Structures are given as structure tokens and as C-alpha cells.
Chains A and B, each alone.
Chain A
């Protein structure tokens, strides 16, 4: 029988040290490149150096003669290996919301290896298979491709010009879609408002830079026509379903395993060429094949994020009360539609009014193809863009009406609420108390003292000016109610699953459909299960990331894991407890009503010595010697949770910067964050997510940008040129939280994975603009490099002279 182990009253809410760590700190983790099998072949891809080029021929003669080479395939050679192209699961059609869809989605063919044309620098045009990594790479350099370079579309603003190069010949223009929505009488509100503020914001293209590059290993079992595909992916379940379709392999014959995965940030939320080719070649050659991405290759071949231009407007009263929000986006899809490329701007479409109470709302997005690396989800995906636009323009409005940024926000906040509330974009926010987070953040940052310091520096005319930037953000997480996804034309559901298996020895196996890659689900899920079942946390094992072990799941992205997958676990535990209660009542010979769940067991009211634990019931359910009439043996439950609504985490970030007006250097002197993700399962993990998110947000604001030359060649082509900040560039963060439980789910949780990345950019940029107020600077684009600050100051001075 199970032993009795001491356990604390409650794990949830405590900073339980991570169960994931021991293997990671000792070098025993198994990432994709740590997995090797006998007889494994290596793939190396030949990639187009041109952003746009016709492929007139591929000559593999020299490559084939190289040592160790097994085969070389061009796109034409592999044409018959595909049942379909690479998938786009979110085809957005032209639409004037809420009118019905007006056109079919415009979906260009996307073959895993380009056949006739390369559409971006990095597009695979051939693949070499050899007996070692080095042999494959050496031979790839000797594949002779006859390219006919074509003019390239590099600037999204030029994509629809008359005479612009046509990227996809199966489409009639470079437009992907125009999608709009309108709530309230927007034109009337704008024409009658006392004032309208209009600004244009640019979001640079960003390179996600998960520290582990991508990789894939496919191991075939030829006799059974089965395949095991290992991939550094966030989405093993989606990968299995979509690759089965693209390759025409029965889904039941394909097992996908996400081993330890070294970060994703959206960049591994995709179905990539190399995964499809790996599977195709394992089938063709009846041998295991592996590919590991190099970093410079990653910069070309893994999706980029952002790449959006926004024309943002607010209509307001003379006092600064916002009446309406109208925004038009131009979104750069890049060369192809990857898994959810078209949907990214739509993830932000409902959030451009932020946490402010407005009457009228209009959003339009025009999306275009360019000859650049495809864009897709990067941490925040659509929501950093929305937050940046509204938080920047609220500050601009404050300047216009002569009010403090704090005052203008307080004046416009949606009042606190704890039940679903419809907002201007048509969404139902779950709960919120925006003033509370702001008040706490102001207190932590010492707002009044900072303003005093700022005033003194301004008066003295210091070279180093102080700026304070606010960001009171909202995001939309918990992707997603399946019916809403259907309305948005997403090609899958938004549910997730959990299974709890109580073993006869009292140990518990939890299987989750989420696929963590750094977020600590093993620890958090253990906390939830241990509390719900009254077992020590050490007795809970959490399994994930293998479609054979966890067949049901929708994986990890969009801060959805806890608020969907975690809730599935909560309900699975309820099912287990229901069964335990029946077994306990039967064995204790009392009615179920006489039992209460106390201290991790069902005990008879008034007779605490008569009790049954989950472990007791698990053993009884296993022996099945004396179960209630008609009960199935075994103690196992699965729950699939489809959320009734999204969740809406929010918070207030305040950044104080010192800007050297002589050199343009920006130094963050203080960064305070108060986030509200509802109830927290593990506050230490929550804090870690916030820290990392802020760092990525600061990186976007100050350092990072994927830069292309006029031919579409990536000039920030490796880590030496693209500036991922190190510890030396970043400050420590002062963080805290408020707790406004979500009304969407019984645990009251909201999600925290993307908050920092969403909140930070406007806080930082607003701070820089605030610092430069005495110089008359009201606008600067990201990344706010010293050079850009310097030239902006020079322009402002020139303008004033």
C-alpha cells in the first residue's frame, strides 16, 4: 500500500523549485542535436542567395561526386513527394467585419523545396543527403543552381505599386488580404470630436533568436511504414496532423516527439520545409535523416516577427477623454504564408483601444507579400503591435491636451469589473482593475520623485535628461474558444487536454497536451495535480511532447497553456475525485453525502479516522476486488477543455531612462512592472516569464531589427550584426503583481508568457520621448539606437532653428 508522505497544505501559489532543472543544470538534457541513431544521414539545404529568382536548372553533378554524398534533390525532383504544400492554418480572406467574408483567401503555393522560383533569400532550392554533417555541408556548396535574378519587392509600401514585381504567379497581385472591422459610428465620432491625434508607427522586423536553433530527425520503420519525427518544435500535435496531410502519410503512422526544446518564442510554432523534407527523404531512402539549423541559416529560414506599419488615430474631447480609435495597418507577410502568418495582425485587431473606455472602434489591415523571409508569430504576436500603438498615442494625446500621462490614463480607464464586460472592439474582457496595477507601479517607481529629478535636470539643461514612460497594457490569451476560432477562419480548435492516471502504488502520471519548452509546466502542473489529489508533489510525474504518449493536444503558444491546458488538468482532477469519492463511500459503507474532501482525502463527516486517500482508491480501482456495482476498474480520467472565452491579462509597466542628448545613448535607470495574470500557480515562474518578456521588449525598443538591403539581402545576417542584448545591456527589474481572477475559468488564471514583451516597448519609447521633450522631440521609431536618437535630436534642433 502507499506510504503516507508529509505534504504542505498547498503547493499552488508557492514558489516551488522547478522539477525541470536537475537535467538542465548538469548537461543531461536531450535537445534535438543530442539525439543520434545508427545509420543516420545528414541533410544540408542549398538556399537561394537571391530574394527573387527564377530557377532554370539545378546541376548536382559536382555535389554527387563528393565523399559521403548519398543523394541530391532539387525541388523538381521532389515534386511528386508532396500530397500538398506546406500548411497555412489561418487563411484570412478579404472581409469587412461583421459582413460575411467577401473573397476566397489568397494562398500561394508553398512547396517545401522551391521548384520554379525562389521567393526570398534563404528559400530552399535543393537538399543534399550525406553520411555526415560536414560532408553534407561541403557538397551543398557545390550544387550548381542556374538562377535568373528578378527584381524583388523589399519594401511592403511598394508591394502594390503599379509595375511592382509579381511574387506569386498563381495570384494576381502581391496583396494577401484586406480585413476590417467597425464598431460604432466611427466616422461621426471622428468628424465631430474636438481633436484627433494621428501618428504613424513602424515595428521593425524581428528575429526570434531562440537560443537553440531548429532541428529535425526522422527515424523510419520501413516494414511498418511508420515514422518517428523528432523536432525542436512547440507544436508536436499540429506538426503530426499537418505533415501527415502534406506528405500523404496516415496520421496513425506518424509519431512526433518534441524532445527538450531550447526556447521558441513563436519561432517553433510552425511547420517548416525542413521537417517536411526530412520526412519525405526518410520515406524515400528508408533511412534516418537529420538536419540541424545553423544560426546564420536560422536568420534566413526561420520566421521573423512584427514588420508592421500603423496609421493610428484617436478622437478625443478637449480634456483628453478618448472617444474613438481608428487604425490602419500595413502588414508584411514575407514571401509565403507560414502556419499562422495571416492571422498575426488579427490577434491584435481587437486590442487597439487597450484598457480605455471608448465608443467607436475601427480596424483595417492590409497584408502584402514581399520577397523577404516569411513573418509569423513572435512572442506577443499582434498584441505588442496593438499595445504599442495605443500606449504611444495616449502619451501623444496627453502632450496635446497638456496632461500628465498618468492622469490621461486614469481618466480613460475602463472601470474595475470582475465579470465579462463587452468592450468597443466587441470582445468580452474577463475581468480587470487597471488603475490598481498603475497605482502600485507608480508607488514602486517613486513617480513624484522622478518627476522632480526630471524637472531639475530640465531646468539645469543637463546633457543627460530623464524620461519616464508608462505602458498600461492589455493582452488576449488563452487561445482559444473553438467557435471564435471558427469565426476567424482558423483551421483548428482551441481546446486542450489533460489525462491523470493514478497508479496502483499511489503515484500519479499527468499527461498534458501542452508542449513546454522552458515555461516550467512540469512543475506548475505538478503543483495543480498534487493539490487537487492530495498527494506529495514528488509523486506526480508530468509527461508531454510525444504524440504517442499524449495523443490529444493543441500545444504551447499564445500564453494558452495554463488557461486552457491547466484548466483541463483541473477538470480531470475533479473527475478523479468524483470516482475516488464513490470508491470511498463504497468501502467505508457510507453515502457519498457523508464524505467531505479534507486534508487530501475523503473522510466521513465527524469521524476523521474513517478516510480514504486517492492512493487508497487507486489501489482498490486496480485490484478491482470490490468496486461499486458497474464501476470500471482503474483510476484514470481525461478532460478536454474548450475555453468559453479568452483571458485578458493586463498590467502597468513604468520605465525611467536617462538619455544622453550629446551621444544619443539611452540608459534604463529603473524598470518597474506590475502585472495582473489573475491567480498565480507559481509566482517564481511567473516572475521569470515577466523578466524574460521585458528583456525581449526592451530589445525590440532599443536594439533589434532585421535589416535588408535594396536587393532583399539580410544584412543583419548573424548574431554579430543582429543585436540580441546581453546582461551588460539590461538592468535588473523591479516587479510585483496585482491579482484580478479571470472569470473565464475556475482557477481564475490568465497567462503570463507574453506580458513583458507586450508591455515593454511603449514604456521604453515613451520614456525616451518624454526625456527629449525639452528638445521638441515627439516621435522616434524603434529600435531607438543612439544613432537614431542623435539624428532625431539634430532634426528637432534644425526644425526649431
Chain B
């Protein structure tokens, strides 16, 4: 869990998102719908972006889970967090953690990061404030930075 080993007992019916929020007090992951439509609760499970309202907590047994709280390292913001700030890619901020995690999954998956690729890749994450314009720009910036730092 965000780089640390965690053992916990969970109710069989508990969704992963409520385990994170209610049991671990990791409230950065938000809940925006009840139909797996909005993507606000997106996190990384073994490096892949997953909507944590669609997964039972018990299914996360033995996996590596990363939430928005685990993105900054040693006081340094993750390139995506910085890029969202630099590009005014958030307004109310409610979708932002999920959006950043979805973008992280997208970048991790590899492949092209053209505007169209990013837009398609974000299809499962809704934002009502920004019109996505600056979110796409931010992800392009971060993807570029991460690629160049990876090749160094």
C-alpha cells in the first residue's frame, strides 16, 4: 500500500475505495458515482489503473496499490502532479486524483501520447470543470518529462 506492507481484515462486501477511505483514512481517492462511470476513484493496482469502486477490498490481497497519496516521493511532486498545477488542469479538484492516477496508468502502459491517444485513454474519467483542455496538455507535458528522464 503506497510502498509499505499492509495487513488488514476486511468485510467481504467492502469495496476497495471504502477500505481506502474509511479504514485507511486515505481520502484522496474520491467517489463520484455508483456505476463505475466517472473514474474519480481511479487508483493503480500493480501499476494498472483501476476504478476502486469496482473492486472488492479483498481482491486487492497480495497486490501493490498506489493512491494519490503515494505519488509524491521524498517531498517531490510526481511529474503529473506538477504538470496539473502548471497547466491549470484542475478547478474543484474532485476528479483530479482519479484523473492523475488514470494518466499514470496510461503513461505506464506505454505507446503514443498524442492528443487523440490521451483523450481516448481518459474516456473513463469525467471532469465537469475543465473541459479536459488543460488536462490533456498537462498529461502531454508530464509524459514528455517522464520519457526524457527515463531515457537519461
Contact = CB atoms under 8 A, between A and B. Distances in A.
Contact of B28 (A26, A693, A695, A696): A26
B67 A27 contact: yes
A418 to B, nearest CB: 31
A487 interface: no
Interface stretch (B31-39, B44-52, B56-64, B144-152): B31-39
A719 B88 contact: no
Given A24-B90, A296-B34, A719-B33, A732 B115 contact: yes
Interface in A761-786: none
Contact of B135 (A25, A719, A727): A727
Contacts of A30: 27
A326 B3 CA distance: 66
Contacts of B38: 211, 295, 719, 724
A294 B34 contact: yes
Interface in A709-731: 718-720, 724, 726-728, 730
B91 interface: yes
Q: Give the size category of B's interface with A.
A: 35 or more
Nearest to B78: A25
Interface stretch (A312-320, A494-502, A684-692): A684-692
Interface residue SS majority, chain A: loop
Interface of A: 15, 17-18, 20-31, 33-34, 134, 209-213, 260-263, 265, 294-296, 517-520, 684-685, 687-688, 691-696, 718-720, 724, 726-728, 730, 732-733, 756
Nearest to B11: A134
B143 interface: no
B34 A688 contact: no
Contacts of B85: 17-18, 21-22, 25
B96 A692 contact: no
Contacts of B100: 25
A693 B77 CA distance: 29
Given A33-B27, A691-B131, 11 more contacts: A25-B90, A26-B28, A26-B77, A33-B31, A211-B40, A211-B92, A295-B33, A295-B35, A692-B130, A726-B124, A727-B119
Contacts of B92: 210-212, 260-263, 517-518
Nearest to B31: A33
Contacts of B34: 294-296, 718
A260 B35 contact: no
Nearest to A20: B93
Contacts of A726: 119, 122-126, 132
Given A18-B85, A688-B134, A695-B132, A518 B91 contact: yes
Given A21-B90, A212-B32, A728 B122 contact: yes
Contacts of A20: 93
B112 interface: no
Interface string B114-142: 01001110111111111111111000000
19 contacts: A25-B100, A26-B81, A29-B28, A31-B94, A209-B126, A211-B126, A211-B128, A262-B94, A265-B128, A295-B37, A518-B129, A520-B91, A691-B130, A692-B129, A694-B131, A719-B35, A720-B35, A726-B124, A727-B119
